[in-house]
Amino acid sequence: MARVKGGPQGHRRHKRLLKLAEGYRATRSKLFRRANETLLSGLVYAFRDRRVRKRDLRRLWISRINAAARLNGISYSRLISALRKAEVNLNRKMLADLAVRDPEAFSAIVNVAKA
């Protein structure tokens, strides 16, 4: 069977992938095969971590709310339960933001939950 080299299209494809691999170290930015492997695994990590980021942020918000709630004499789980019963519809992102930026407002919300 005759050998097929790919011609100008193959050269363009290699150039495009090596351009995307700029900034990688050593052969990962110089050699097509190594660069291609690295780019593929990088895309897999990017896809996965777009979802993981959402989990990580939710964990951060919960930690911040818990810390601020305990300063106000209530645990996180009791606070969230009390807010549900009081029909206060604030999500964890907003609660965490209030806990960090405006502790007085957060204390007011905790008092509403306790009442």
Q: What's the whole-model pTM score? A: 0.76
The three-state secondary structure class of 62 is helix
Q: For 10-40, write each residue's pLDDT tens digit.
A: 999 999 999 999 999 999 999 999 999 999 9
Tell me the C-alpha distance between 53 and 48, whole Å: 9
Give the chain's radius of gyration (CA, Å): 26
The three-state secondary structure class of 101 is helix
Confidence check: pLDDT of 4 > 90:
no
Structural domains of the chain in order of their starting residue, each with its CATH number: 7-114 (1.10.1900.20)
Q: List the structure tokens of 50.
A: 């777009």
Q: For 42-77, write each residue's pLDDT tens digit.
A: 999 999 999 999 999 999 999 999 999 999 999 999
Tell me the C-alpha distance between 68 and 55, whole Å: 20
Q: Select from 53, 67, 75 the least CA-distant residue to 96.
A: 67
CA-CA distances (angstroms) from residue 4 to 7, 8, 10, 18? 8, 12, 10, 21
Tell me the C-alpha distance between 95 and 98, whole Å: 5
